[in-house]
Structure 1
């Protein structure tokens, strides 16, 4: 995917994270003010080995993996012929007919098909994480933000300032 934004995150201070976003494309000048955007940024930073600067507790990592599944769609493992690895003899398209997104691929764990994202589930989960998300435009194509979360554990991986590029814009699928 093509990166849309450059993100600069400052080191966290307790339950608060500040930073800025800058559009890499001159046509992208609007930024989401929804709390989901703040959550997208912190889980994206966690998912990047070059961005996360501290460890997360295993329970928080599991929660972030679940958020990715809600946002991107869950990966279901299949064999080379499209049969479910967890249910031999059952085709993914039969078991998950209404849930399949049409996306498939392969990663270090083998081939997979993707299920449809759950934007409502992502939004509901975000409500329990975010106390406040404020965004203020600082110019055409740039904005500063402040994210306050309900628990410091959501920001534990952001011990130092970091900059990265992302495709996340705050919009949900």
Structure 2
């Protein structure tokens, strides 16, 4: 899936996390403001660490992943988390549950081999979405997420969520110079712009022509501060983490 944001964690103190959400995808040029978004980021980080997918990458210029520990250490952290079972449930609320089945759809045990008794098809037991495949162990299908339950969980878990104004946003004059290099931006001239210079609109695809020439450090971002009801929800988070995410707070 295409990455939507890159997330950098700057500090974790008690039950409060501070970081930055970098805007890297022109199709989603703003940081979601509902509490489901920061909770989905915490769940996404847990999933990356639990699977051993978060580690240092070489492409600093492009904003590659960063993690101050090894992948094995990250996995050990998630395995020892007090709230690890809750994170597993939250993940299923966002993306659905992974159900092992036979080729013709009958439910299997977790070993991917034993047919559960009584024999039942997954479609007769669960509300399924279109997700299905084979993961090297068995065929599987996916249940639907639960937006209402996840939203309620976010309301209970995220007690405060603040977003700063956007940083590193190009000026309208910079975008205009790229579009019309022979017509300088001059509000004093009769043919000049009607409005004073200021941050460009990130919804404007023209802005992204300019941003495509920027390094990761020069891309727009917003600072976030997230406070949770229990510090255990931040047990796996640490300053120096950075990863790309497909999360927007939307439930599949």
Structure 2 unaligned segments of length 5 or more: list them: 55-66, 109-115, 170-219
Cα distance in 1, alignment partners of residues 39 and 136 from structure 2: 26
Q: CA deviation at 1:93?
A: 2.1
Tell me which structure has the larger Cα radius of gyration.
Answer: 2
Q: Relative to structure 1, is the Cα distance of residues 108 and 126 closer, same or farther in structure 2, using a 3 angstrom cutoff?
A: farther
Bigger drift between 28-37 and 143-152 goes to 28-37
Cα distance in 1, alignment partners of residues 247 and 46 from structure 2: 13
TM-score (norm 2): 0.62
Contact 2:9 2:238 in 1 (8 A): no
Match of 1:164 in 2: 243
User: Which residue of 65, 75, 97 corresponds with 2:98?
Assistant: 75
Match of 2:38 in 1: 38
Q: CA deviation at 1:17?
A: 0.3
Q: CA deviation at 1:166?
A: 0.4
TM-score (norm 1): 0.88
Bigger drift between 13-22 and 133-142 goes to 133-142
User: Which residue of 146, 149, 153 corresponds with 1:121?
Assistant: 149
Q: Relative to structure 1, is the Cα distance of residues 18 and 108 closer, same or farther in structure 2, using a 3 angstrom cutoff?
A: farther
Contact 1:43 1:64 in 2 (8 A): yes
Cα distance in 2, alignment partners of residues 52 and 106 from structure 1: 33
Cα distance in 1, alignment partners of residues 144 and 7 from structure 2: 27
SS in 2 for 1:137: coil
Bigger helix share: 2
Q: Please give the per-residue CA displacement for 1:86-124, whole angstroms capped at 9, x wherever unaligned.
A: 34532222333xx11021123365321111110001011
Match of 2:221 in 1: 142
Q: Relative to structure 1, is the Cα distance of residues 11 and 106 closer, same or farther in structure 2, using a 3 angstrom cutoff?
A: farther
Q: Relative to structure 1, is the Cα distance of residues 146 and 108 closer, same or farther in structure 2, using a 3 angstrom cutoff?
A: farther
Q: CA deviation at 1:161?
A: 1.7
Bigger drift between 54-63 and 71-80 goes to 54-63
Cα distance in 1, alignment partners of residues 103 and 165 from structure 2: 48
Structure 1 unaligned segments of length 5 or more: list them: none
**Pairwise CA RMSD:** 2.0
User: Which residue of 122, 132, 151 corresponds with 1:104?
Assistant: 132
Q: CA deviation at 1:59?
A: 4.4
Match of 2:187 in 1: none
Match of 2:122 in 1: 92
Q: Relative to structure 1, is the Cα distance of residues 7 and 108 closer, same or farther in structure 2, using a 3 angstrom cutoff?
A: farther
